[in-house]
Amino acid sequence: MTHLCVSISVEAPDEIHTALADARRAVEHGADMVEWRVDALAECEDALRHVRTLVRESPVPCIVTIRGAREGGEWRGDETDRVSFLEALCTASGEVAPTYIDFELADMQRSANVRQKLELCVEHPGQVRTVGTRLILSAHDFEGRPAALLRQWTAMAEADACAVAKVAWRARSVRDNIEAFELLATRVKPAVVLCMGEPGLMSRVLAPKFGAFLTFAHAGSDSDAQRAAANAAGTAPGQVSVQDMVNLYGFRRINSATRVFGVIGWPIGHSRSPHVHNEWFREAGRNAVLLPIPIPPEYEHFKASVAELLACAPLDFRGACVTIPHKENLLRFVNEQGGYVDPLAERIGAANTLYLDAAGALYCANTDAPAAVDALTHGMGIERAALPGKRIAVLGAGGVARAVAVGLADEGAHVVVFNRNEDRARRMCAQLQEGAMRARSAVAGSMTAGRTTEMSTGGFHAFINCTPVGMQGGPDPQGNPLASDVHLDETVTVMDTVYAPRETPLLIHARSRSARTVDGWVMFTKQAERQFRLWHTD
């Protein structure tokens, strides 16, 4: 069993009551171990009594950590004083001792005296005292993968006093997680291997799949977001809450057979795909989990990262939602890998769904196009059969815009594409028309590029925003892609493909002009339903 440990930083005596309340709340949400980070508290007056209070009243077995400044902690004192404090905490007669203490490998190796004193206060084969506390021997690098990682790992394995080996480093990319999993596979004793930062989320959530001794979460709740963020920042970058670990990612259901899916994009923190698909996995009784996977925009990053995820057999990576800016990268990748590209995705020149079929063959598809048609007709209050002849303005020339334009033109609409770079809009339309000819696909409607000044002349039945303008976490979250002089009234429908936030500046503006609106959540859920049906999880 992999423990879910909530890490709580306590800096002063007046924080103890709140910290214990945080711990109890975390246990109610699913934590089964607490790490008391007492770097600063251990230097306060009467510190030993205060830390003993935390240990004695801890609702579940606990770890006590006094992290040295060299590895990201706040302890500034002498190393001998620190280990003497831990010895007093662990060996006092009649006192409740912590289940584990965490101490840095580098500081133990730096001084024979420190090592000897540390060995006196923890259980190990050569211990002559009656001691119940065990040692987590750790190494942390907040810059990146440590050059001495394998030497550290070997030293921990060989240290008799080390009950649990723990290494953590800041992930530079999602590929760091693969090395973390490979390292866990070589363990000779209980071990923790974590990648810090947003790209390292996979190493935290999938700890049970790879047999880690524990993984960490923070105790904060949605109702106390500031405290949650401060707590997470005070222990390790990239921690998520206990609630998200248990409820969003299904931590207690993850095992070695769990199949892994992702949502790939840059940025990706705003994505609601994990919430939707993980809920559907649970409802369907499928042993699968979907995680956010941030990959920088360049194709080289996408290719290297996805190739490694697919090549890691123990990970069992089975597919992904792919969003901005990687939809065209996905199509290129699957073609280069000799996989199968759905004909619609080939025509569009972009895909949003990566999957393996039951035999393990690589596929990609585009579920945006049919979902966009469904969403728009729903918002306009018409059937698909009523689309021929409708004039639709599509804003943008990226992967989403390509899918929306093809989907609507195939249904007979007259699509006019607007983009700040008008040459890009013209190239997009020409490419899509060429794609239709190569596929010998008859397009019932039309696709043309328009000048931005033409948007205000009227005559459009609908406007569809396919840019990231207005997106939470995007380049212009407060922006509105429609100029104020664009004619809107109750006969016009405005649709946004941005779904986070659900109420975008564009939709607020459109409603103020009496236009009908369709939020991005409608299209999102319709395309997600199609993705879910493509993924093989059994």
pLDDT of residue 221: 54
Question: Residues 287, 255: contact at Cβ < 8 Å?
Answer: yes
Region of 13 (left: φ > 0; alpha: ψ -120 to 50; beta: rest) is: alpha
Q: What's this model's pTM, rounded to 2 decimal places?
A: 0.91
Catalytic residue list contains 303: no
Q: Which residues of the chain have pLDDT under 70?
A: 221-236, 440, 442, 537-538
pLDDT of residue 129: 85
Indicate the pairing of strand 317-322 with strand 259-265: parallel
What is the residue-wise DSSP string for 66-119? --BGGGT--B-S-HHHHHHHHHHHHH-TTSPPPSEEEEEHHHHHH-HHHHHHHH
pLDDT of residue 442: 67
Tokens linked to 249 = 């990612």
Report residue 283: phi and psi, to 5°: -60, -35
345: nearest Cα among 424, 400, 300, 393:
400
User: Which residue segments constitute the domains of the chain, with CATH numbers given?
Assistant: 3-253 (3.20.20.70), 259-367+526-534 (3.40.50.10860), 369-520 (3.40.50.720)
Number of Cβ within a 10 Å radius of residue 503 = 12
Q: What is the SS3 assignment for 467?
A: coil
Reported as a single tens digit per residue, the pLDDT across 420-429 is 999 999 999 9
Sheet containing 259-265: give its strands across. 288-294, 259-265, 317-322, 353-356, 362-365, 340-341
Active-site position among 166, 327, 390, 526: 327
Q: What is the spatial distance between Cα 207 and Cα 215, in angstroms, rounded to a whole number?
A: 6
